[in-house]
Chains A and B, each alone.
Chain A
Amino acid sequence: MNGSNKFEYTAKLKNRFLGMLVIGVVLVVVGMLTGASMDRFWSNYLQNTLFFLGISVLAVFFLAAHQIGMAGWHITVKRIPEAMSQFSKVGAVLMLVVVFGVIFDYHHLYHHWTNTFIQEKEVSVEALKDYEAELAEEGHSTEHAVDYNRTWQDFQYHQVAPAPEHVDAAKPEPEVLENGMVVNPYYDRLIDHKSAYLNKTFWSIRSISYLFLWVLMAMIIRRYSLREDLDNSDTFYQKTRKAAAVFLIIWAVSSSTMTWDWVMALDPHWYSTLFGWYNFISLFVASICTTILILIYLKRNGYLTQLNENHLHDLGKYAFGFSVFWTYLWFSQFMLYWYGNIPEETRWCLDRARTDYKWLFYANLLLNFLFPFLTLMRRDAKRNMNVLMIVAIGLIITHWLDFYMMITPATLGTEVHFGILEIGMFIAYAGLFLFVVFGELAKASLIPQNHPMYKESLDHHI
């Protein structure tokens, strides 16, 4: 060994990442000063927090899945996802800001279902008057009542969303019932129907428990791995196995529910059953690509001499395979929506495919599917650092755009808002992420030489 197993976190590198963070924050401030709304800020904040938190939690998934599968090849790679997993601590704190925002009501991301007024069939006359005054004051339209009956055909034949006439039309005086109450004209059946699950209390408990459990498991798995470096037995290997099994069970449930709570809840009129997997795979591809990029950076700077193109080949196969799986899920959802033509389902695609987001919607599919599919298909491509680097950078950006496509139309409506704020927010988060991850990398040997499968990883050959 040439002693280069210890990563040296130079001041120059540190400053570069902090510089990214500062430039990003400055761009965000400039974006805010040049007219971006607070809603747009929160939408971007949620998108980036979810994306980078997801990348770090999927790194824990990477470790846990390989541990349970008794894989040996990834030992030379292992420390990179481990370091990435430690960003989950920072990500969880950033996500808590969103969670507390729902509890203390300082942002409007989830305002559709946090509004309890529209979940009551009958209300008193005063309450109705107060609510209408509040609406007029805020300048909000009652958009949640607009689009029950939009279907693919509306768009097929009209090419645009039909005007929501019944909202602007003069409302008749509400009818007073025998008990002195009135029928709530703003009553929202779908949101009322979901209120047993989607209410502030239960939502906050769930959100906080995912964050807590993920960070806990990330710390436990990392801790075992570091202690293994000082221990010659397989004690910590066995302990990690148990921890990995626990994490996988937690993740099996929380990967779906976090998507319902944090992404689908932005648009509570919409129904989907496979959206959890879709998010999961999108994040997994991004996580694998981040691992590849950090690996290539380290390898180019003379670290990780034990790592060879066979390990890269396996990571490349993941990037390739999961990109195809992402497409499978994307298309499954799209085709069934298109065939079924049920308003509660199609609205998701319609808000994206038949509005200003049209180009982004189809570009998303092409960039996340055809680009990795055609570039990574050849064996040589997966073993070539230059090709892998280009594909990995491309996939990280396009999966970030995928999250943009999921969140922004639901929070900001169907006009595209893309500018300095969006770019600045991404640079700031990337800087923070890299700063934390490289700091973690420097804390331990880059290759866990006491791992029982260390030798197997060196002999890896495909």
Chain B
Amino acid sequence: MATKKIMYGLYDDEVVLIKAVKKVRAEGLKIHDCYTPFPVHGLDDAMGLRMTKLHSAGFIFGATGTLTALSFILWITTNNYPINYGGKPYLSLPSWIPITFELTVLFASVGMFLTYLYLNRLAPGMKAEIVDERTTCHMFAMTFEIDDHTTDAKKTEIRKVLSDSGAVEIHEKEL
């Protein structure tokens, strides 16, 4: 697997980070990602990230659950194993609703959970790509992708923008 090279600046305050992100984007540089110890309000907007499509996936999973439950119970109660419950007709929608509801929630939540893991390339035993261990504690990192073809002029530009916008440390690293 090809190694990925990044260049990153560390900030010690989220307000400075958000300002820095806006400044860097205004200069036309492409930010790879930001790493923060906690969710920072407004960072998504500042970085110009598009909204996640996870909820659309959730709706599809949920609808699948609804259809699965309804069709399965329909088949059981009218075809496979019809039982007379208290004189009610075999095809009794009210009694199916609780199970349909449960399966909708189950499909939606499990489906979204697995999709989330897949999108973020997470799984048990997977090696985490940690830019800097301090980003799990008190520092905020803004990273840029670089490779062997990146010119020194470009690197200098990134360095300058980072330090101008208040980064306390700037590093290059191979992941």
Contact = CB atoms under 8 A, between A and B. Distances in A.
A339 B97 CA distance: 13
Interface string A329-367: 001001100110100000000000000000000000000
Interface residues of B, number: 13
Contacts of B51: 379
A461 interface: yes
B50 interface: no
A335 B87 contact: no
B86 A379 contact: no
B97 A335 contact: yes
B94 A379 contact: no
B28 interface: no
A461 B42 CA distance: 8
Given A334-B94, A335-B97, A339-B95, A377 B59 contact: yes
Contact of B55 (A339, A379, A461): A379
Nearest to A337: B94
Contact of B86 (A331, A334, A339, A377): A339
Interface string B41-54: 11000000001000
B41 A335 contact: no
Interface string A383-417: 00000000000000000000000000000000000
B94 A338 contact: yes
B83 to A, nearest CB: 14
A377 B108 CA distance: 14
B59 A341 contact: no
Contact of A461 (B41, B86, B87, B94): B41
Contacts, number: 20
A325 to B, nearest CB: 13
Contacts of B42: 461
Interface in B80-99: 86-89, 94-95, 97-98
A22 to B, nearest CB: 46
Interface in B129-171: none
A66 B155 CA distance: 51
A445 to B, nearest CB: 28
B55 A331 contact: no
Q: How large is the interface on A (under 10, 10 to 19, 20 to 34, 35 or more residues)?
A: 10 to 19
Contacts of B87: 153
A335 B95 contact: yes
A377 B98 CA distance: 21
Interface in A139-163: 153, 156
A208 to B, nearest CB: 40
A357 B88 CA distance: 23
A335 B59 contact: no
A335 B51 CA distance: 39
B94 A335 contact: yes
Contacts of A334: 94
Contacts of A377: 59
A338 B88 CA distance: 9
Contacts of B98: 335
A341 B97 contact: no
B41 A331 contact: no
Contacts of A153: 87
B96 to A, nearest CB: 10
Interface string B67-83: 00000000000000000
Contacts of B95: 335, 339
A251 to B, nearest CB: 29
A341 B86 contact: yes
Nearest to A340: B86
Contacts of B59: 377
A320 B25 CA distance: 36
A331 B88 CA distance: 17
Contacts of A341: 86
Contacts of B41: 461
Interface in B100-154: none
A331 B95 CA distance: 11
Interface in B1-57: 41-42, 51, 55
A341 B41 CA distance: 52
Contacts of B86: 339, 341
Contacts of A331: 94, 97
Nearest to B56: A378
Nearest to A378: B55
A268 to B, nearest CB: 26
B170 to A, nearest CB: 30
A379 B51 CA distance: 10
Contacts of A379: 51, 55
Interface of A: 153, 156, 331, 334-335, 338-339, 341, 377, 379, 461
6 contacts: A331-B94, A335-B95, A339-B88, A339-B95, A379-B51, A379-B55
Given A331-B97, A339-B86, A341-B86, 4 more contacts: A153-B87, A156-B89, A335-B98, A379-B55
